[in-house]
Amino acid sequence: MESYTGRQRVSAAFKKTFTDQDPKIDRVPAYPFTGQCNAQLIGATIREILQDPGLFVKAQVAGYERYKPDIVLMQWDLLTEVEALGNELRFPENGLCISTKAALEDKGKLSSLELADPTKDGRMPGYLEAIKETKKIITDAPVSPIVAGPWTIAIGLRGASELIRDAMKDPAYVHELLEFTTQMSIRFGEALLDIKAAPNYSEAPASCSLISPDMYRTVIFPHHKRIVDHFAEKKAGVGLHICGYADPILEDMVNTGANNISIDAPSDLAKAVEATRGKAVLIGNVDTFLFLSDDKEAMKQAIKGCVDAAPQDSGYILASGCEVPGIAPPEKIAWFMELVNEVGRY
């Protein structure tokens, strides 16, 4: 049987979506979102890989070698931008970093906040360096960055409850804040594009698990569209990932013009296939809990369910719905690609 590289499989998904071509490949392109869970492969802590770009590269390369995903998603943390903008963070030894002080606890400080420079401020240059290095080492599969979208940055700067209340009671302020964070997302995205890595934006807290569809449409969508349009002018496609339940806003996500849409397990893959077909590559949405469970059969059924919901010509990439838990045992993460090879064949 002919063997394909991750790059060929992923490229096929894009061609199926955006052209009349239907390139033959052996199986559905697939990858688990692995970041923090790769620390254990190199005997490092999560804190170490988030603070040392060299170790982050080592962990991601180890993840690629161990699991052989078709895309290497460079999942770091989503507080890199807010840290560079003035948030104080704490880095637990084996957990994701958390904000201990938000830069806009006092909302009035927005007027004095300055955009961070991705090539100089905080850990942003380290992330760029890690992308560059990983791209040099891994050439068979796309090395894909993922950074915070404008709503995620705004939540980091203000706090989730505070920002949601602001959006309901002081929309003009939130608009101003999102103008600022959109510029920040574009700036980081441009720095990534400079090293030939088109950005994907994670908007974990933009789902209907946290906000209303109406809030997505009126408050966030125009900013997403602006980012996509900005990069379209430069002939670069960007991705959009939203965690949690996103069924009511699937069409809106597609209408941003993002060239790939990534959804989480609570969203309906069949509905998403309908919404994205011919307009965006769809990515998702195996439940990340399955990477912790002992039930290999359940993971197999979940993968089968995804492949059944997304027809071969739909330009679909099978992935975990969100980041694989940092505590997931490597042998269970390995099941994922093993099972994809078994039940994801075309």
Partner 1 sequence: MASDERTQEILKELREALIRYDEDGVVEWTKTAIDEGVDPFAAALEGLADAMIEVGELYNKRKYFVPELLLCSDALYAGLEILRPAIKASGRESEAKGSIVLGVVEGDVHDIGKNLIKMMFDVAGWTVYDLGKDVPLEKFLEEQLRTDSDIVGLSALMTTSMIVMPEIIKKLKERNPNVRIMLGGAPINQELVEKYGADGFATNAGNAVDEAMNLLKMLKKEETK
- In sequence order, the 6+-apart residues with CB closer than 8 A to the CB of 255 are 221, 225
How many helices (H) and strands (E) the chain has is answered by: 14, 10
Structure tokens at 251: 């069409």
171 sits near partner 1 (criterion: CB under 8 A): no
- Considering the complex, what minimum distance in angstroms separates the CB of residue 95 from partner 1? 4
Structure tokens at 197: 């890595």
Residue placing its CB nearer to partner 1 in the complex, 98 or 195: 98
178 sits near partner 1 (criterion: CB under 8 A): no
Query: What are residue 265's phi and psi, to 5 degrees?
Result: -60, -35
Q: Which of residues 100-159 bind partner 1 (CB under 8 A)?
A: none
- Considering the complex, what minimum distance in angstroms separates the CB of residue 37 from partner 1? 9
341 sits near partner 1 (criterion: CB under 8 A): no
164 sits near partner 1 (criterion: CB under 8 A): yes
Element housing 67 (H / E): helix 53-67
Q: Of the ranges 51-59, 127-135, 211-219, 222-230, which one interacts with partner 1 (CB under 8 A)?
A: 211-219
Among 11, 51, 183, 209, binds partner 1 (CB under 8 A): 209
Closest CA to 66 of 330, 262, 328: 330
Q: Of the ranges 6-14, 110-118, 123-131, 326-334, which one interacts with partner 1 (CB under 8 A)?
A: 326-334
> How far, in Å, CA of 82 to CA of 315, rounded?
34
- In sequence order, the 6+-apart residues with CB closer than 8 A to the CB of 234 are 193
Q: Of the ranges 15-23, 268-276, 285-293, 332-340, which one interacts with partner 1 (CB under 8 A)?
A: 285-293
Q: Are 118 and 191 in contact (CB under 8 A)?
A: yes
- Considering the complex, what minimum distance in angstroms separates the CB of residue 148 from partner 1? 16
312 sits near partner 1 (criterion: CB under 8 A): no
255 sits near partner 1 (criterion: CB under 8 A): no
Return the number of other C-beta atoms located less than 10 Å from residue 278's C-beta.
11
Cα–Cα–Cα angle for 45, 336, 146, nearest 5°?
55
Residue placing its CB nearer to partner 1 in the complex, 213 or 305: 213
CA of residue 309 relative to chain centroid, distance: 22
Q: Of the ranges 3-11, 87-95, 116-124, 249-257, which one interacts with partner 1 (CB under 8 A)?
A: 87-95
Residue placing its CB nearer to partner 1 in the complex, 209 or 341: 209
Instruction: Kindly give the residue spans of alpha helices, DSSP state H, lying in 19-121.
Output: 46-51, 53-67, 80-84
Q: Of the ranges 5-13, 60-68, 130-138, 321-329, which one interacts with partner 1 (CB under 8 A)?
A: 321-329
Closest CA to 192 of 132, 232, 257: 132
List residues near partner 1 by CB under 8 A: 36, 46, 92, 94-96, 98-99, 160-161, 164-165, 167-169, 208-213, 215, 244, 248, 288-289, 292-293, 325-328
